[in-house]
A and B are shown apart, each in its own frame.
Chain A
Amino acid sequence: MKDQDNCIWIGGTEIESLHKFDLEPSDIKINKQFLYQSLGYQNEIPEPVLIEIDKTIDYLNALVEIQAGFKLISPERVKFHSGYILIDDERLNTKAIIGKKLVDSETLAIFVATLGSRLEEKSKKLMSEGDLLQGYILDAVGSELVEQTTDWLQLQVENLLSENNLKITNRYSPGYCGWNVVDQQIIFSFLPKLFCGIKLSESSLMVPIKSVSGVIGIGKNVIKSDYECSICDMTNCSRRRVM
């Protein structure tokens, strides 16, 4: 992995900077427990599923091209309100749930992460050839991998800022907790074109599919909690982290 931009945030004075990482699959560890959970299982997992998961994790390396990055925005460009955030004149309508979590921040990191398209192409191919279980497990492993990549990226933001006594919030994504997915258009407008190879469509779909976007609040007095699924109203979500 490498940070292609070693510009740093200096002692509380803002420096806008862009950070981009190309990761090896071995940099990111798949949390199997989370994977089982995302497939629905709490305890007993059928053997073919376990075998397929192990097989998939083994051949995953050839199918992913992990890229992740974030941009730190200058504090004077960002204004936080309880239901929205202004960056310059652009308004991110986070709505109340996420707005409240970010309101004590001084500025934002805008982030994206992706696995590239090869994995989803392979999964599609497997499914169309009738290998439904294999295709489905590969898709689920991909989703878990991109989530773990985003955890890793969040840690990079945290480490970089902690050197300057700044803290971070949890990460929040458009499309969750009432924040409309269309606001990705604004998020992407602050990133270089095709940053990390991700294209945002008119319908606010990221291509490759296995991609995530969002923001992280930054400040001296903000809080990050371990898992925040409890704030989300989608209680039947298969990916709800039960701790």
Chain B
Amino acid sequence: MNEILEKISYCIERGKSDKHAKFPPDLKDQDGVVEYTQAALDNGISAQSVLNDGMMPGMNKIGIRFRNGEIYVPDVLIAAKAMKAGMQLIKPFFQSGEAKHKGKIVLGTVAGDLHDIGKNLVAMVMEGGGWEVVDIGVDANAQKFIEAIENNDAKVVGLSALLTTTMNNMEAITKEIKSKFPEVTVVIGGAPVTEKFSNSIGSDFYSADPQGALDFLNEKLEI
């Protein structure tokens, strides 16, 4: 792999956003994601490659370490922030159509529930994995999900819930989405959700952590 891309990946993993960032202490005064991203673009590396071969591998390593319990949510957020800093530089290429996301995911917390931290983390990991996220917020009913799928031509929907009561609302929402858009993939998650529940309501996948859902989507949709 190109050395600059490797540096981008490494800096994301270490949470080193730019030269002035004091964290991590052992990389003080050294270049970070921002500088290496700029260097990559200056060297003729495409924005798509910066994302796919520099940023995504870094975030992927973070996601796996989180799933293995080696690091925790704040560490993931520090890495995501470093990635975001670099993303600012490649954003224009997405707007011009030169670089592309893997697809769109509609994400929301289901009707009756107002918890959004878990959903926000899923959004962040999906973005780090190259997906474009359409976040429809909290207390979202079937109608809201369906409109968002239609308006964005989304291939995937993610549902989140934190209470057993609101988890039950996932069933009707999933069924309605599936009856309107049988080809749309539904993934669900949140503290009370289990694989058994997911199977019983006809959703395509359950994951306890965002990385698991990302891996599933990458595999299922062969990306």
Residues in chain A within 8 A of chain B (CB atoms): 39-41, 46-49, 52, 123-124, 127, 130, 132-133, 135-137, 139, 175, 180-182, 201-205, 207, 209
Q: Provide the residues of chain B in CB contact with A139, threshold 8 Å.
A: 117
CB distance A133 to B77 under 8 Å?
Answer: yes
Q: Is B72's beta carbon under 8 Å from chain A?
A: yes
Which residues in chain B, 19-33, are within 8 Å of chain A measured between CB atoms? 23-25
Instruction: Given A46-B78, A132-B77, A139-B117, check contact A204 B165 (CB 8 Å).
Output: yes
Q: Is B124's beta carbon under 8 Å from chain A?
A: yes
CB distance B72 to A127 under 8 Å?
Answer: no
CB distance A132 to B120 under 8 Å?
Answer: yes
CB distance from A207 to the nearest CB of B (A): 7
For this complex, 29 residue pairs linking A to B, each with C-beta atoms less than 8 Å apart, are: A39-B72, A39-B74, A40-B74, A46-B15, A46-B24, A46-B75, A46-B78, A48-B15, A48-B78, A130-B81, A132-B77, A132-B120, A133-B74, A133-B78, A136-B74, A136-B77, A139-B117, A175-B164, A181-B163, A181-B165, A182-B165, A201-B112, A202-B112, A203-B113, A203-B163, A203-B165, A203-B166, A205-B114, A205-B163
**Separation of A201 and B15 alpha carbons in the complex (Å):** 40
CB distance A48 to B23 under 8 Å?
Answer: yes
3 A-B pairs with the lowest CB-CB distances in the bound complex, closest first: A40-B72, A203-B112, A133-B77
CB distance B114 to A209 under 8 Å?
Answer: yes
**Separation of A182 and B114 alpha carbons in the complex (Å):** 16
Which residues in chain B, 196-211, are within 8 Å of chain A measured between CB atoms? none
CB distance A41 to B72 under 8 Å?
Answer: yes
Instruction: Given A46-B78, A132-B124, check contact A209 B115 (CB 8 Å).
Output: yes
Chain B 153-192 interface 0/1 with A at a Cβ cutoff of 8 Å (1 = within): 0000000000111100100000000000000000000000
CB distance from B188 to the nearest CB of A (A): 17
CB distance B78 to A203 under 8 Å?
Answer: no
Residues in chain B within 8 A of chain A (CB atoms): 15, 23-25, 72-75, 77-78, 80-81, 84, 111-117, 120, 124, 163-166, 169
Q: Provide the residues of chain A in CB contact with B114, threshold 8 Å.
A: 205, 207, 209
CB distance from A169 to the nearest CB of B (A): 24
Quick one: closest B residue to A124, CB to CB? B116
Quick one: closest B residue to A50, CB to CB? B74
Q: Provide the residues of chain B in CB contact with A47, threshold 8 Å.
A: 23-25
Extra pairs beyond A48-B15, A133-B77 (12, CB < 8 Å): A41-B72, A46-B74, A46-B78, A127-B120, A133-B74, A136-B73, A136-B117, A137-B74, A180-B164, A203-B163, A204-B163, A209-B115
CB distance B73 to A203 under 8 Å?
Answer: no
CB distance from A126 to the nearest CB of B (A): 10
**Separation of A240 and B25 alpha carbons in the complex (Å):** 31
Quick one: closest B residue to A143, CB to CB? B117
**Separation of A39 and B73 alpha carbons in the complex (Å):** 7
**Separation of A127 and B81 alpha carbons in the complex (Å):** 11
**Separation of A144 and B170 alpha carbons in the complex (Å):** 29
Q: Provide the residues of chain A in CB contact with B120, threshold 8 Å.
A: 127, 132, 135
Instruction: Given A205-B163, A209-B114, check contact A130 B169 (CB 8 Å).
Output: no
**Separation of A48 and B169 alpha carbons in the complex (Å):** 38
Q: Provide the residues of chain A in CB contact with B81, threshold 8 Å.
A: 130, 132-133
**Separation of A205 and B80 alpha carbons in the complex (Å):** 30
Quick one: closest A residue to B22, CB to CB? A47
Q: Provide the residues of chain B in CB contact with A182, threshold 8 Å.
A: 165
CB distance B77 to A205 under 8 Å?
Answer: no
Instruction: Given A40-B73, A133-B77, A137-B74, check contact A203 B25 (CB 8 Å).
Output: no
Q: Provide the residues of chain A in CB contact with B77, threshold 8 Å.
A: 132-133, 136
CB distance B74 to A130 under 8 Å?
Answer: no
Quick one: closest A residue to B111, CB to CB? A203
CB distance B72 to A205 under 8 Å?
Answer: no
**Separation of A80 and B41 alpha carbons in the complex (Å):** 71
CB distance from A146 to the nearest CB of B (A): 14
Q: Provide the residues of chain B in CB contact with A209, threshold 8 Å.
A: 114-115
**Separation of A153 and B76 alpha carbons in the complex (Å):** 35
**Which of B74, B80, B112 is A49 in contact with, Cβ under 8 Å?**
B74
CB distance from B71 to the nearest CB of A (A): 8
**Separation of A45 and B111 alpha carbons in the complex (Å):** 36
